[in-house]
Amino acid sequence: MASEQLWSQVAEKWQTSFNRLNRNEPGITGLLTFSEAWVLARDFLRPRDIDEPSPKSTVNRQQLRAAFDNLAQRRMLTALLEEFLEDMRWQLPHITKDIEGLMKQYEATSDPIFIAGCISRLVLWHKAWAPFPELGPTVVNAFTNTFQTHVFSVLPRSFSHGFKSLVSATLNPEYATEPPVWITTLFPQSGPPPDRWDKPLWQAFEQLGMTERYESLIASVCYEHVEAHMIETYSKVWDRECLSEARDWMSQHILPWLLMPYAPNAKTVEEAAPFISGIGTRLDYHVCKTLADLRTREIFDIIVDFPDSRPALDDLKKCILRVDHRSTLVKTLRKENAHRLLHPGADTKMILQQYVSIIKCLRIIDPQGVLLFKVADPIRRYLRERPDTIRCVVASLVADHESGDSLVDENDTVQPLQQAQVDDYSDLNWEPEPQDAGPDFRTNKPSDIISTLVSIYDSQDLFIKELQVLLAQRLLAIKDGNFDRERRNIEVLKIRFGEAQLQVCEVMLRDMTDSRRTDQHIQSQKNNDTTQLHPTIISRHFWPSLQTNTFTMPGQFKTIQDAYQKEFKTFKPDKKLVWMSHLGTISLDIELDDRTVSADVPPLEAAIIELFSQKDIWTIDELIETIGSIERPAAVKALGTWIELGVIKEEDANTFRLLQVADAAASSKTTQRPQAMAVEDEVPIVTAQQQQAEQMKVFWKFIEGMLRNLGSLPVDRIQQMLKFAPGYDRSVEQLGQFMEAAKREGLVSVKDGMWKLS
């Protein structure tokens, strides 16, 4: 029963199929026609090795059409397609062999011409096998899919690399004027030559679906090209704005090229716009990023070149806005600074100059100062450790602009130093801190450079102290009595530091003018022989300590000094005049038997030659003893001056004789030599550092005293006991270092942390 039913069902199906194929033709003629049509169509479609002669040309076009119609009527096209794809699969090894051969050649030579050849072959295969488009999109798509799947699956790994070099060849500017030879042989064009030489190549890519598949590759070629171009063209070019230039170049050279891969069918630029806007934006970003990277790498030198490099900074500012490069910039600049600036080889003045430039440059890039804050921190910390930072800053404060020492522009208005600002809650223009600001970031409103430099140290007192020392040096060095410049400096500094801080300097300045007045008064008394002496009278309490090497001037100098002192006492009875005999200059005319020698010399030299007027022969020890409290090297130097001037001569070791009559040999020697520069330029003011060393000597006496009387002590006990020493302010660490130094000199020894005198 059941089998009978099944039988009838099968029979019915058979009948339907038969009817479909036979198309109600009498007998089986319909079936026969179908069979003929099938064979014809299949044979036509069958993929063949393209190197064999193709049968297609012999086929009757009409017959073929009839056959396909027949098959379509019988709804057998799907079956035909399957058959076709099956046939294709059988034939694919031909392509594989072809590709492999060409790729092997490429791998051996790395010449992209083989990639071009490979593509040209693939195009041929594709063309030869493609079913005609009348068969409908389904067939064509199915074919394309199968073909591409196979091709991409057999392409070796090296292909993408080769493809990349082939694509970059299309960017080669040389080919723009003279296209490579292979393009015409590999991709013969029937029509007129295309407007771009590489057009056939792009068409081939498109045909094989490679544009889509290798889009990222094509984009990366473009990026790399842009990057290489920019680095080549804009490295170290800081004197013009490169960003806009680069953008122009992009729109002139890269954008037209982009049309090929991204908008192959667009006829006009407007038509292409939607296709290339995406890649265009990405490329613009890439341009900014490349420039930002480049300028970040060069940032240190850009800052060195400032202000000539201003356009580069403007570029960097724009780029950084676009690509958010701030942290990299900070990191790079910090590293560069540590590497190139903050090391012992760099001069403090240079570091300060670069720091000032950094301040100016980073303010251009980031007006809010977050970058500056982050970069400046290590520099400031380093400068704090340098012993001569204060001196350099102070020197630049009072430097004249001609000498080039100044760190600030002449045009900067002088303004009071700014203290760290507290937030002003009533400020309507308040802006929040930038998001990359650190927790200890202070919004520095654009403050002037000097304020920034002075704020390296917590206290201004150090500057004032150093300023005093410097001012003392400069005042004492002035010989023509013109203090206008110093007065101007002091006035400028008063605005910066405030009146009260500079009172001491004011007193120093007044001492100078007062000295002249006093001197004029004393000279006007006429009843003495003080006319040759013009002292500068300074108030001890207001001046930094001068080196206290006072010796007594002998002979006539002493007489003059005493006479002056007497006059001074009557003029200003409440003051005491103490001579600093080692400072100043003395103009001398030495009358000898046969000649007169004129010289401007320091007092010690004068003192020594004065002694020679008492007797002709002195030993150096006698001289030192007579003058008193001078050091041997100083005496030797002073004697050297006179020997060079040919006034005295060293007879035996350390014995000197006055040459009343010029020594022939000596005078000829003098003429050969240039006139000795006997006048010392540097006024011996005790610097802060020397003062410290001086203080340490005092502390050492205390340490010695306690160790002698109390035996051995641990270092913290010494530290405590040192509070007896006036002005002791060192830390235990500093004391420890000092003790170690003393140990090295063999003054003390240490055992189990207990120090004792050795």
Nearest Cα to Cα of residue 441 among 419, 420, 416: 420
The alpha carbon of 236 is separated from its chain's Cα centroid by a whole number of angstroms, namely 12
If the CB atoms of residues 157 and 697 are measured against another protein, the closer one turns out to be 697
Residues 6+ apart with CB under 8 A from 384: 456, 457
If the CB atoms of residues 400 and 716 are measured against another protein, the closer one turns out to be 716
User: Rg (Cα) of the chain, in Å, rounded?
Assistant: 49
Smallest distance from the beta carbon of 730 to another protein, in angstroms?
15
170 C-beta neighbours (distance < 10 Å), count: 22
Token digits for 566? 């007497």
Smallest distance from the beta carbon of 702 to another protein, in angstroms?
5
If the CB atoms of residues 15 and 720 are measured against another protein, the closer one turns out to be 720
Alpha helices in 298-388 (DSSP H): 299-305, 310-323, 326-336, 348-365, 370-385
Interface region with another protein, contact rule CB under 8 A, candidates 163-171, 423-431, 666-674, 710-718: 710-718
Q: Is residue 706 within the footprint of another protein (CB under 8 A)?
A: yes
Interface region with another protein, contact rule CB under 8 A, candidates 342-350, 622-630, 682-690, 707-715: 707-715
If the CB atoms of residues 307 and 705 are measured against another protein, the closer one turns out to be 705
Residues 6+ apart with CB under 8 A from 131: 45, 84, 139, 140, 143
Q: Is 209 left (phi over 0), alpha (psi -120 to 50) or beta?
A: left
Q: Which of 255, 676, 721, 750 binds another protein (CB under 8 A)?
A: 721
Q: Which of 726, 731, 746, 751 binds another protein (CB under 8 A)?
A: 726
| 725 touches 703 (CB < 8 A) | no
Q: Which of 18, 90, 430, 724 binds another protein (CB under 8 A)?
A: 724
Smallest distance from the beta carbon of 635 to another protein, in angstroms?
27
Q: Is residue 628 within the footprint of another protein (CB under 8 A)?
A: no
- CA distances to 119, 300, 331, 332, 567 from 336, rounded to whole Å, are 49, 7, 9, 6, 64
Smallest distance from the beta carbon of 710 to another protein, in angstroms?
6
Task: Build a one-symbol-per-residue string for 650-689: x at contacts with another protein by CB under 8 A, - elsewhere.
Answer: ----------------------------------------
Smallest distance from the beta carbon of 691 to another protein, in angstroms?
16
Residues 6+ apart with CB under 8 A from 229: 249
**Ramachandran angles phi, psi of 526, nearest 5°:** 65, -15
If the CB atoms of residues 149 and 720 are measured against another protein, the closer one turns out to be 720
Q: Is residue 291 within the footprint of another protein (CB under 8 A)?
A: no
Q: Is residue 723 within the footprint of another protein (CB under 8 A)?
A: yes
85 C-beta neighbours (distance < 10 Å), count: 18
Interface region with another protein, contact rule CB under 8 A, candidates 265-273, 621-629, 658-666, 718-726: 718-726
Q: What is the DSSP letter of 423?
A: P
What type of residue sits at position 367? P
Smallest distance from the beta carbon of 757 to another protein, in angstroms?
10
Q: Which of 79, 477, 710, 741 binds another protein (CB under 8 A)?
A: 710
Task: Build a one-symbol-per-residue string for 438-477: x at contacts with another protein by CB under 8 A, - elsewhere.
Answer: ----------------------------------------
Task: Build a one-symbol-per-residue string for 686-705: x at contacts with another protein by CB under 8 A, - elsewhere.
Answer: ------------x--xx-xx
| 582 touches 628 (CB < 8 A) | no
Smallest distance from the beta carbon of 494 to another protein, in angstroms?
34
If the CB atoms of residues 576 and 708 are measured against another protein, the closer one turns out to be 708
Token digits for 648? 């005295």
Q: Which of 29, 532, 720, 758 binds another protein (CB under 8 A)?
A: 720
Sign (positive or negative) of CA dihedral 473, 475, 481, 487:
positive
How many of the chain's residues bind another protein (CB under 8 A)? Answer: 17
629 C-beta neighbours (distance < 10 Å), count: 12
Interface region with another protein, contact rule CB under 8 A, candidates 543-551, 561-569, 605-613, 722-730: 722-730
Smallest distance from the beta carbon of 703 to another protein, in angstroms?
9
Q: Which of 55, 256, 711, 753 binds another protein (CB under 8 A)?
A: 711
Smallest distance from the beta carbon of 709 to another protein, in angstroms?
4
Residues 6+ apart with CB under 8 A from 187: 120, 123, 200, 201, 203, 204
Token digits for 374? 């982050």
Label the pairing between strands 648-650 and 655-658: antiparallel
Q: What is the DSSP letter of 410?
A: T
470 C-beta neighbours (distance < 10 Å), count: 21
Write the DSSP assignment of 446-458 as a string of letters: S--HHHHHHTTSS
3-state secondary structure of 435: coil
Smallest distance from the beta carbon of 701 to another protein, in angstroms?
4
Q: How many Å apart are CA 588 and CA 551, to the nearest integer?
A: 19
Smallest distance from the beta carbon of 696 to another protein, in angstroms?
13
Q: How many Å apart are CA 215 and CA 222, to the nearest integer?
A: 11
Cis geometry, peptide bond prior to residue 194 (ω within 30 degrees of 0): no
If the CB atoms of residues 663 and 704 are measured against another protein, the closer one turns out to be 704
Interface region with another protein, contact rule CB under 8 A, candidates 29-37, 320-328, 604-612, 723-731: 723-731
If the CB atoms of residues 243 and 735 are measured against another protein, the closer one turns out to be 735
If the CB atoms of residues 262 and 755 are measured against another protein, the closer one turns out to be 755
Smallest distance from the beta carbon of 686 to another protein, in angstroms?
18
Smallest distance from the beta carbon of 604 to another protein, in angstroms?
27
Q: What is the DSSP letter of 683?
A: -
Smallest distance from the beta carbon of 508 to another protein, in angstroms?
28
Task: Build a one-symbol-per-residue string for 578-617: x at contacts with another protein by CB under 8 A, - elsewhere.
Answer: ----------------------------------------
Residues 6+ apart with CB under 8 A from 676: 641, 644, 645
If the CB atoms of residues 578 and 698 are measured against another protein, the closer one turns out to be 698
If the CB atoms of residues 233 and 734 are measured against another protein, the closer one turns out to be 734
Q: Which of 709, 745, 746, 751 binds another protein (CB under 8 A)?
A: 709
| 154 touches 85 (CB < 8 A) | no
Q: How many Å apart are CA 465 and CA 393, to the nearest integer?
A: 12
Q: Which of 104, 109, 708, 733 binds another protein (CB under 8 A)?
A: 708
Smallest distance from the beta carbon of 704 to another protein, in angstroms?
7
Q: Is residue 725 within the footprint of another protein (CB under 8 A)?
A: yes
Note the residues at the interface with another protein (CB under 8 A): 698, 701-702, 704-706, 708-712, 720-721, 723-726
